[in-house]
């Protein structure tokens, strides 16, 4: 099992991790991965990868417009709004 | 010394598909609406909402497959590309990764006097993100989710391009094809077609260098500027003994320079995995075959037809096929009249396009005037009116000021093609010109021009020049 880069994982998940907790979470994750790694004991070399457990194909709809929600519906959970925009702390990249 | 250096470029082109609704929701796929007007709970990433595939997007992808010589895959899979950004409310973009809908295509582009085959690795369907607006408030970003879920086809070329001009040719050929098959409106200003440019440099004949990616270029001008700047930037770094670091660059349209995006503490890791909300797309051969007839005539088919059947000059044919609406207008005129296609084509790319340009019109807006236009061209090619008179009447016809035959009468522009009448005028004009006649007979051809001019003047410019010429020659040779 490869080592866990806990700083990188918390960065990608946008989670702030106090440094004294890093070791604790690192070990917890290792335990989880070790447990999941049990699956590697099964020989799958002759088996096609499975992307979905059903053999069904994606359900489709025709290209038709219907409006189901208003601007106010959509913005109703926004912590802040400005006119009809979501207003968020400045993020520029 | 940039002489020894060459650039190697691959392009990722994002084409917005012009469906009515979005890729996974039935919200309108429309540009220019009020903020957050075209958003529902699926688009805004509300918990528990399930995406449902728009088959219109699959159809457009298949059409593109035929037009760009792709292998159309019966089996494709949607996956989640995970990253956080305020205009991506789901926290992931639904895209295709391992199993795209199209693979291994190509198009031929012009490179100098030759054709060059540009191979295309893949094209896949994915959702667009929303829009962040940073310049309204100094402390806040404003988010408009209208664009969230807009269907995109990302077309990824192999690194087969080796100059800015080739990139422009490739991009405009793609644009032309996508517009011909009616899957993309090609409006680069509105972002319907945009490109990420992957560029590396190497000494001629050497191994590939490290590439940088310039993101989100939405005009031919910017693409050219960005490539030229980035090419020189990379050469300068290597010449100074430095090393190119793989980087994502932004092009600053105000300075014409590229710069690295704010460096990330960690490289991107999108942690793709199959989207559990969406089953794989499995198409039948029937579904794929059914779409083939919808592709229609492609630019190259039209070019061949125009050259072989209508004997147009290549340059003129190319102007007409450049946009589908030009070709449609041209072909409508041919089908409605017996005027020679070559004659129609010359007037179309000449005075008619000039009129369209001057008046800022859409080519389409002339579709209901084709009968009047060809009637006018008939009058010109039958010598009822002169070329010059035709040019005078054309704008009036295009403005809908009257029928060509009425305008000709009204303005008194009918050409005098009555031989007897012209003979009389010519005989009068030759009175007292014995000296010049002798000169002509002595071999001075210039005198002929003088006589034609004199006769035309006598007809107030309405004499048929061809006929005047003919009669004059008969008279003078006596």
B208 in the same domain as B85? yes
* Count of structural domains within chain B: 3
Cβ contact B39–A59 (<8 Å)? no
Domain assignment present for residue A24? The answer is: yes
Burial B37-75 (b: 16+ CB within 10 A, else e): bbbbbbbbeeeebebbbbbbbbbbbbbbbbbbebebbee
B377 in the same domain as B324? yes
Average pLDDT over residues B399-413: 84
Taking the model in full, what pTM does it have? 0.84
The predicted-structure confidence for B152-194, as pLDDT tens digits, reads as follows 999 999 999 999 999 999 999 999 999 999 999 999 999 999 9
B209 in the same domain as B246? yes
Residues of A in contact with B282 (CB under 8 A): 57-58
Strand runs (DSSP E) across chain A, as ranges? Answer: 60-61, 81-82, 85-89
Q: How many secondary structure helices (H) and strands (E) does chain A include?
A: 3, 3
* Count of structural domains within chain A: 1
Who wins on pLDDT, B434 or B316? B316
B177 in the same domain as B319? no
% of chain B exceeding 90 in pLDDT:
67
Is residue B9 within 8 A of residue B217, CB to CB? The reply is no
Confidence of residue A4 (pLDDT cuts 50, 70, 90): confident
Single out the residue in B257, B290, B323 at which a domain terminates.
Answer: B290
Domain assignment present for residue A4? The answer is: yes
Phi and psi dihedrals of B431, rounded to 5?
A: -65, 130
The predicted-structure confidence for B250-259, as pLDDT tens digits, reads as follows 899 889 999 8
Instruction: Tell me the shortest Cα–Cα distance from B378 to chain A, in angstroms.
Output: 45
**Nearest Cβ partner of B77 from A51, A83, A93?**
A51
Residue B453: CATH number of its domain: 1.10.10.410
List of residues 6+ apart from B316 with CB closer than 8 A: B345, B346, B349
Strand runs (DSSP E) across B17-139, as ranges? Answer: 53-54, 71-72, 75-76, 78-82, 92-96, 102-111, 114-127, 131-133
B470 in the same domain as B398? no
For residue B399, give its domain range.
297-410
DSSP B360: T
Predicted-assembly ipTM surpassing the 0.95 threshold = no
B267 in the same domain as B212? yes
Instruction: Give the residue from A52, A61, A89 showing the smallest Cα distance to B75.
Output: A52
A53 to chain B: nearest residue by CA? Answer: B279
Residue A29: CATH number of its domain: 1.10.20
B425 in the same domain as B403? no
For residue A24, give its domain range.
1-43
What is the pLDDT at residue B478? 63
How many residues comprise chain A? 93
How far are the Cα atoms of B146, B151, B250 from residue B128, in angstroms, in the given order?
10, 6, 19
Instruction: Tell me the shortest Cα–Cα distance from A79 to chain B, in angstroms.
Output: 12
Instruction: Give the residue from B381, B385, B431 showing the smallest Cα distance to B406.
Output: B385
B253 in the same domain as B111? yes
Is residue B326 within 8 A of residue B180, CB to CB? The reply is no
């Amino acid at each position: 099992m490869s080592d866990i880069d806990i700083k990188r994982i918390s960065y990608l998940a946008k989670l702030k991790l106090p440094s004294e907790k890093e070791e604790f979470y690192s070990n917890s994750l290792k335990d989880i991965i070790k447990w999941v790694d049990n699956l590697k004991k099964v020989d799958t070399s002759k088996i096609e990868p499975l992307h979905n457990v059903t053999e069904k194909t994606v359900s489709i709809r025709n290209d038709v417009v219907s409006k189901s929600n208003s601007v106010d519906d959509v913005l109703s959970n926004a912590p802040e709004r400005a006119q009809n925009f979501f207003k968020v702390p400045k993020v520029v990249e | 010394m940039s002489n020894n250096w060459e650039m190697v470029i691959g392009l990722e082109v994002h084409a917005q598909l012009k469906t009515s609704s979005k890729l996974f929701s039935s919200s309108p796929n429309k540009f220019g609406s009020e903020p957050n007007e075209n958003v529902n709970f699926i688009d805004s990433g509300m918990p528990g909402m399930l995406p449902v595939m728009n088959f219109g997007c699959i159809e457009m992808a298949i059409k593109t497959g035929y037009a760009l010589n792709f292998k159309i895959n019966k089996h494709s899979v949607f996956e989640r590309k995970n990253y956080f950004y305020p205009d991506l409310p789901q926290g992931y973009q639904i895209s295709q990764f391992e199993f795209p809908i199209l693979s291994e295509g190509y198009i031929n582009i012009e490179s100098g006097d030759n054709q060059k085959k540009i191979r295309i690795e893949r094209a896949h369907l994915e959702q667009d993100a929303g829009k962040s607006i940073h310049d309204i408030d100094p402390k806040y970003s404003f988010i408009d989710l209208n664009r969230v879920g807009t269907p995109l086809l990302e077309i990824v070329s192999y690194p087969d391009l080796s100059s800015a001009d080739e990139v422009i040719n490739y991009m405009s050929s793609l644009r032309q094809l996508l517009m011909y098959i009616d899957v993309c409106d090609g409006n680069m200003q509105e972002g319907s077609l945009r490109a990420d440019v992957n560029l590396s440099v190497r000494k001629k004949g050497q191994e590939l260098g490290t590439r940088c990616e310039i993101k989100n270029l939405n005009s031919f001008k910017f693409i050219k500027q960005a490539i030229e700047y980035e090419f020189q930037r990379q050469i300068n770094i290597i010449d100074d003994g430095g090393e190119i670091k793989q980087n994502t660059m932004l092009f600053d349209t105000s300075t014409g320079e590229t710069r690295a995006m704010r460096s990330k503490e960690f490289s991107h890791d999108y942690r793709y995995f199959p989207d559990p909300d969406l089953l794989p797309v499995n198409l039948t051969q029937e579904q794929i075959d059914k779409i083939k007839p919808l592709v229609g005539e492609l630019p190259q088919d039209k070019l061949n037809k125009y050259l072989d059947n209508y004997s147009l000059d290549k340059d003129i044919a190319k102007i007409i096929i450049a946009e589908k609406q030009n070709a449609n207008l041209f072909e409508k005129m041919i089908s409605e009249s017996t005027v020679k296609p070559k004659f129609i084509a010359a007037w179309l790319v000449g005075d008619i396009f000039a009129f369209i340009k001057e008046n800022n019109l859409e080519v389409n807006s002339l579709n209901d005037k084709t009968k009047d236009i060809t009637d006018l061209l008939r009058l010109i090619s039958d010598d009822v009116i002169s070329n010059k008179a035709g040019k005078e009447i054309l704008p009036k016809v295009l403005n809908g000021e009257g029928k060509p035959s009425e305008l000709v009468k009204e303005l008194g522009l009918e050409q005098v093609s009555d031989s007897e009448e012209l003979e009389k005028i010519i005989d009068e004009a030759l009175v007292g010109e014995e000296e010049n006649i002798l000169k002509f007979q002595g071999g001075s051809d210039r005198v002929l021009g003088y006589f034609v001019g004199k006769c035309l003047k006598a007809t107030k410019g309405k004499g048929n020049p061809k006929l005047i010429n003919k009669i004059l020659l008969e008279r003078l040779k006596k």
